A and B are shown apart, each in its own frame.
Chain A
Amino acid sequence: MDATPAKRRRARLSITPYLFISPWLLGFLLFTLGPLVFSLTMSFYDWPVVGERSFVGLDNYRSMLTDDPAFWESLGITTRFALIYVPFNIVLSFLLALLLHHARFGAGFFRTAFYLPSVISGVALVMIWNWIYSEQYGLLNYMLSFAGIGPVNWLGEKNLAVLAIIIASLWGLGSTMLILLTGLKGIPRELYEAATVSGVPGWAQMIFITLPMLGPILVFTFITSIIAAFQQLTIALLLTKGGPQKATYFFAMYIYDNAFKFYDMGYAAAGSWIMFLIVLVLSMLVMRWSAAWSYYEGELKSEDGGRNA
């Protein structure tokens, strides 16, 4: 007699939490997992937007890896971009976060100011940089003219265009900075006090306290920066259109062109999956490698403390 209501209650209990998270769950199934599986299927097809689709197995992957120079070139450009962008993004964000952390006044103002570029939509950001880089009327060339440097064709020369895109991308480092700043604020003050009392110099405090305590957050920003670097599309697409002579033809743009210029959806889906695998492998390598230097004890301890309290 008693068992039925109890059972019913348990059944209801097990459904209720899922109902609560159902908006997210539905969103995940419909807009993330669904398209993900769909794109994997697509990548095994010759899938034009208009006309017949046909199953081609691994052909898309095969011709991309063995037969398509544009694939390797765009991947090379993206890799080189990532090699410069990722370290600069983390180091500069870290330095900015440090400055803000120790700022005596106006911290709120500068925090907002540094974060502002990340709030602007990518397209608006590109418009601004377009004006800055303009050869004849640009702000940058105007300032350089005072130093006697002639007009530089920032977006028209192969190497400069890559540099221009890296600088424009770095401008949006506000969110990385904010995450690192939060991390800095989370380091217990007592550690520094104890170190100061024991006569540990500032640089040593940085190396032996700040960096290890910040470890997990650095790993996180490392991975998100790698993902951001590989997905770089907006700036290149709008600022240089992949030019001059394909010098800024990023991997994401290669995928975009295959999909929306050549309408080869299957081929583009295959490219997306290769990008996904690359990012996945890189992230796993970072995780594995970070175990050597990242210090997770800080987190564990606070978790422990939480449970005891």
Chain B
Amino acid sequence: MKTVSTWIAGSLVASVLSLAPAVQAEEVLRFATWDSDESLAIEQAIAKKFEETHPGVKVQVEAYGGDGYDQKLAAGFGAGNPPDVMYMWNFPQYYTSLMPLDDLIAKDAAALDIKDIPEGLLNASRIDGKTYGMPAGFTTHVIFYNKDMFAKAGVEEPKDGWTWDDLRAKAAKFRNEAAKTYGFAVDAKPDPYDFEQFLWSNGTRYISDDGKQLDGYMNSKEAAEVLDMFGDMAKKQEAATINVGEVTSASTLFKGGQIAMMEGAMWNKSGIDKSGVKYGVAMLPAFKGKPVQSAISISAMSIAKDAKSPDLAWEFVKFYTSPEAIAMRKNDLPVRTSVAESQGMTKDPVFKPFFDILAVSTKERPAFLKNPKWAQIQENLAVAIEAAITEQGNAQAHLDEAVQRSKRFLK
């Protein structure tokens, strides 16, 4: 009996002690992120820094994970209990529940130094002229290539201004059936958001700028050309096909030295660094005679309309986009030109292509910003892409079908 009562007393004391710090912290700020692992650790470190400068504030970093992020966030909003601050990309879906930031930005213009952030990054979080998010990090797309494989095969490394014809000619030289090596990898299930960069580079887009016309865009001659080219690369074995059989990631092949080139972004870099592959980075190739463009993936910070303490939330967002916090982010690229320059990234041959292509990638708006039903349209598009790559051709028919099936979302 005695031991039991001492145990109870002990645990009571312990629980009171553990409560004590929580009582001291008057305000809890909830921050939701889709990152995990290393990127998450970076964010937690930034949150810690914020807590140091703001005594009495506790930032509760809620990691929803990549796949479940949208579901958990939607559930949070649906239940009227969203996080105060959150990572955001899908502005068309959420902007009605987010706080417009323009007044706050104007108020703190001097401290924010908004001119330091490229316009292209800010544009992605604007709906109807209002800004709903502050960019915190971004990545453009590039080609990673394996320097050792290039040297061994005696193939000249990619140069600025190269084209898909150049890439295909190089890729053909790496195919070795016995060693199971290929020059490149073609994805049968690419993220359609990223894939639009190839259509842009070939002079078309998924959907008209007013978001009401698919016919002549998604199924245009130029779009079919892109798909047919990738299908043909798979057919001629210039590229391995992923996501048809069990191989689901180009970066795994690249890290294993089985493909000489791969299309990728910043999120591939730390894994490749760790694999020990000696690599170089090149700009995306252009389609002959046309300007090349990249998709830009941006992590922006948004505040919920019903955030419990909007001022504190804005303080946190401001801190997140401060040069100090941005410099801490190693898994994506700095949104502030000054940080990129002070870290020498714009000169570094590994990072330079990311910034070079950013400079020419501000002309197009991604499709999801143009039509509220884009998620459903994209479903049909993804089937067309998968079919065209799997069948290694016949893209026009599949794209026509995707357009046909998506008609009801244009009304």
Contact = CB atoms under 8 A, between A and B. Distances in A.
B97 A260 contact: no
B230 to A, nearest CB: 16
Contacts of A245: 383, 386-387, 390
Contacts of B94: 50
Interface of B is mostly: helix
20 contacts: A49-B74, A49-B75, A49-B78, A50-B74, A50-B93, A51-B97, A63-B408, A67-B408, A69-B405, A70-B379, A70-B405, A134-B246, A156-B245, A243-B386, A244-B244, A244-B386, A262-B373, A262-B375, A262-B376, A263-B93
Nearest to A68: B408
A211 B128 CA distance: 69
Interface pairs A-B: 9 shortest CB-CB: A49-B78, A49-B74, A50-B77, A67-B408, A51-B96, A135-B246, A262-B375, A50-B97, A245-B387
A216 to B, nearest CB: 43
B386 A263 contact: no
A74 to B, nearest CB: 12
B383 to A, nearest CB: 6
Nearest to A263: B74
B5 interface: no
Contacts of A68: 408
B18 interface: no
B3 interface: no
B71 interface: yes
Nearest to A137: B246
Interface string B383-396: 10011001000000
A251 to B, nearest CB: 16
Interface size class of A (residues with CB under 8 A): 20 to 34
Contacts of B75: 49
A246 interface: yes
A208 B373 CA distance: 59
Interface of B: 71, 74-75, 77-78, 93-94, 96-97, 244-246, 373, 375-376, 379, 383, 386-387, 390, 405, 408
Contacts of A260: 71
Contacts, number: 46
A173 B209 CA distance: 53
Nearest to A264: B376
A67 B405 CA distance: 9
Given A68-B408, A246-B383, A262-B375, A49 B77 contact: yes
Interface in A155-212: 156
A136 B246 contact: yes
Interface string A124-142: 0000000000111000000
A2 interface: no
A13 to B, nearest CB: 43
Contacts of B386: 243-245
A50 B78 contact: yes
Nearest to B82: A50
A153 interface: yes
Contacts of B373: 262
A261 interface: yes
A304 interface: no
B96 A50 contact: yes
A52 interface: yes
Contacts of B78: 49-50
Interface string A34-72: 000000000000000111100000000001000111100
A81 to B, nearest CB: 19
